[in-house]
Amino acid sequence: LKDIKRHGFSSVDATLQTAKLNPAELLPELNVPPSSSLFLCCVFFFSSLVIRGEKDEHAVLCSKDKTYDMKIADTSNMLLFVPGCKTPEELNADPASCNIIYSQIAGFSKNYWELRRCRPKLKKLRKLLMEDPYEGPDSQKDQTSTLSKYTTEDLLSLIQASEEEILHQLQVIDACKIEGYWRILDFDYEMKLLSHVTQLIDSESWPLSKVPLCACLEELGSLEPREMIEHVLLSYGRKYVDDGEVFFEMREDKICRAIARMLLQNAVKFNLSEFEEVWQQSVPEGMTTRLDQLQGLALVDKSSRPETIFLLKVEDLPEDNQERFNSLFGIREKWTEVDITPYIQDLCAEKQTVGALLTKYARSSMLNGVKVFNSRRPIS
């Protein structure tokens, strides 16, 4: 500050006193607008940020790995945008040195975007890829289709989520790249591939925990493309290396779940006891079926006689919170927390619980000694 006074910048002292700022706590570089008055400047430093959304969508802001809702807000302080400002980490920390830099103001604003972390809007991702599912190399439909196919860059421009969230979701839905485009396998074709693998495991008497990649590719490569065989192993197994050779530990729960979906997809409702019997007979030898493998895929109706089970996939439900609850309460008037949780847990925001969601969108009551939840509003 002595340097400032020596150069005749006494107005800085006066401004600091008016603002009740302690000079000893200031950084050693002051940015002063070219004006007789000294403003406090607010500087923003952006990393890789992008605003995503089409004309009919509410815009979101995405970083490399997170998604934020955007809401415009007013401020009583004028915000000044100053090119070339340095961060505190970039400044000389020597308190004896204090410089005044006359900066040009690139712009100003009296409002700003208020950001709130939100769930990535990923339902559209599956919807786009399901427009043209991959049915295999021999499919005439795939060879003549005029439907759009999507690269990573295409998806980044269409999906309201960060790049990391999109790439993670592509793994979750078992998408794969074929000729540079992201594709989801047609379910019947996927089951055909899985059947080839499980039949080979059975015929070779391999343990489900140690299925060799090279042998699978060698034996099945004449039936299907090798990359498709490896893809289905990656989708339904855990890859690991033992003594330099690649193996897969098959995922029992996911295989049982897929076979249950295959059995249920053509039936409106299925007698529960009959389904459980057929299901167990349909899975590979050594695997055990359990109803908890079907969370978010199928729903048991215990009120019917006999008890029944039917397909209800969470990915087919609306993405909006209120619409999701409306849909669920349209299917069933009263839900236990155990039954409804698989169908709403993906709606939970950061640090939000299923219980908090139920408190907001449902009303609880007791039915035969069990807590159940029904809609807070009439369902048409």
Q: Name the pLDDT band for 81 (thresholds 50, 70, 90).
A: confident
Contact between 137 and 179 (Cβ < 8 Å): no
Q: What is the pLDDT at residue 206? A: 96
Q: What is the pLDDT at residue 139? A: 82
Least confident of 38-42, 110-114, 166-170: 38-42
Using alpha carbons, select from 205, 214, 294 the residue that is nearest to residue 257.
294
HEC string for 70-134: EEEEEEEEEEEECCCCCCHHHCCCCCCCCEEEECCCCEEEEEEEEEEECCCECHHHHHHHCCCCE
Would you put residue 367 in left (φ > 0), alpha (ψ -120 to 50) or beta?
beta
Least confident of 32-46, 106-120, 176-190, 230-244: 32-46
CA distance 98 to 100: 7
Q: Pairing between strand 270-271 and 237-242? A: unpaired
Contact between 340 and 299 (Cβ < 8 Å): no
Least confident of 33-47, 49-63, 150-164, 219-233: 33-47
In a 13 Å sphere around the CA of 101, the CA atoms on its Cβ side amount to 17
Residue 1 has pLDDT above 80, yes or no: no
Using alpha carbons, select from 266, 265, 184, 272 the residue that is nearest to residue 228.
184
Q: What is the mean pLDDT of the chain?
A: 87
Instruction: Quote the radius of gyration of the chain (alpha carbons, Å).
Output: 30
Q: Dihedral angle at the C-alpha atoms of 233, 238, 242, 247, nearest 10 degrees? A: -10
Cβ neighbours of residue 339 under 8 Å, at least 6 residues apart?
299, 332
What token pair was written down for 357? Answer: 């969601």
SS3 (DSSP) at 232: helix
Taken in order of first residue, the domains within the chain and their CATH numbers are 3-117 (no CATH), 122-184 (no CATH), 187-250 (1.10.10)
pLDDT in tens, 290-335: 999 999 999 999 989 999 999 999 999 999 999 999 999 999 999 9
Provide the percentage of residues in the chain whose pLDDT is more than 70. Answer: 84
Contact between 318 and 272 (Cβ < 8 Å): no
Residue 108 has pLDDT above 90, yes or no: no
What DSSP state is assigned to residue 292?
G
Planar angle of CA 27, 33, 39, nearest 5 degrees:
70
Residue 286 has pLDDT above 70, yes or no: yes
Helices (H) and strands (E) in the chain, counts: 14, 17
Residue 249 bridge partners (DSSP): 238
pLDDT in tens, 26-59: 666 555 555 434 444 444 445 589 999 988 889 9
pLDDT in tens, 258-285: 999 999 998 889 999 999 999 999 999 9
Using alpha carbons, select from 44, 18, 39 the residue that is nearest to residue 103.
39
Q: Higher pLDDT residue, 376 or 289?
A: 289
CA-to-CA dists, residue 123 to 168, 170, 173, 315, 326, angstroms = 13, 11, 11, 7, 18
Residue 174 has pLDDT above 90, yes or no: yes
What DSSP state is assigned to residue 293?
G
